[in-house]
Chain A
Amino acid sequence: QVQLVQSGAEVRKPGASVKVSCKASGYTFSSYHMHWVRQAPGQGLEWMGIIKSSGTTTIYAHSFQGRVTMTRDTSTSTVYMELSSLRSEDTAVYYCAREGVATFYFDYWGQGTLVTVSS
């Protein structure tokens, strides 16, 4: 069965960086894109970006450009999302979500990773 298992909760100080992982299993990793979505406390879902199945193409939401980097490691079927220059507003639950190539929807989601930014 398809599973996306994310790394555990993180606490960072303002200005630091965080790297969240999402390990995939139960399907052909190289055949699917991966997205990252976050939800700040009391807020809605926010799309952050996509790393395509090729691993060489990324598209980021304008609001995160310059601060976010998404990578994937085919050897371990793991996708990473690194967010830098953290501020308190980045406190949120971060989700990875799978997309079948050219399907334009997210069919499986990770369990979420809470990132807390606090001095």
Chain B
Amino acid sequence: QSALTQPASVSGSPGQSITISCTGTSSDVGGYNYVSWYQHHPGKAPKLMIYGVSSRPSGVSNRFSGSKSGNTASLTISGLQAEDEADYYCTSYTSSFTYVFGTGTKVTVL
């Protein structure tokens, strides 16, 4: 199972919006609405930001939103803030009853 493809880095100025893509196949992202996104600060445990493609857990800012089209899922962060600077990973359930993570995206707030 190959990792889902994410851009290595995305940057934006405070207040701007950025979007991170996550491209898989019809056997994972495209085949199920089970894409989730995680924020990971180095040295800390990953944090769930989006599940089920577009649902947000309680406590997560509504500046974070998710969507999917075909084999590509996306995470959008609006009103970018300094605290959003972190690594972001998508993951998807697969047709092999396993899970696969994305390659990860480093978000930099300029």
B32 to chain A, nearest CB (A): 8
| Most chain A beta carbons < 10 A, residue from B52, B89, B91 | B91
- Residues 14 to 54 of chain A near chain B (Cβ within 8 Å): 35, 37, 44-47, 49-50
Given pairs A50-B99, A105-B51, A109-B45, 20 additional interface contacts (CB within 8 A): A44-B89, A44-B101, A45-B38, A45-B40, A45-B91, A45-B101, A47-B100, A61-B1, A95-B45, A97-B46, A104-B36, A104-B52, A105-B36, A105-B48, A105-B52, A105-B91, A107-B51, A109-B47, A110-B45, A111-B45
Closest to B57 in A: A107
B36 close to A45 (CB less than 8 A): no
**Count of residues in B whose CB is under 8 Å from the partner chain:** 26
Q: Does B98 contact A (CB under 8 A)?
A: yes
- What 1/0 mask marks residues of chain B from 42 to 68 whose CB sits below 8 Å from any chain A CB? 000111100110000100000000000
Contact among A44, A49, A109 for B3, CB-based, below 8 A = A44
| Most chain B beta carbons < 10 A, residue from A35, A44, A95 | A44
Determine the distance from Cα of A45 to Cα of B32 in the docked complex, in whole angstroms.
Answer: 20
Q: Does A11 contact B (CB under 8 A)?
A: no
Size category, A interface: 20 to 34
A104 to chain B, nearest CB (A): 4
Contact among A47, A103, A109 for B98, CB-based, below 8 A = A47
Contact among A35, A37, A44, A62 for B1, CB-based, below 8 A = A62
B5 to chain A, nearest CB (A): 11
Q: Does A59 contact B (CB under 8 A)?
A: yes
B47 to chain A, nearest CB (A): 8
B46 close to A95 (CB less than 8 A): yes
Given the known interface contacts A45-B40, A47-B99, the answer about A106 and B52 at a Cβ–Cβ threshold of 8 Å is no
Determine the distance from Cα of A95 to Cα of B44 in the docked complex, in whole angstroms.
Answer: 10
Q: Which residues of A contact B102 (CB under 8 A)?
A: 44
Determine the distance from Cα of A110 to Cα of B46 in the docked complex, in whole angstroms.
Answer: 9
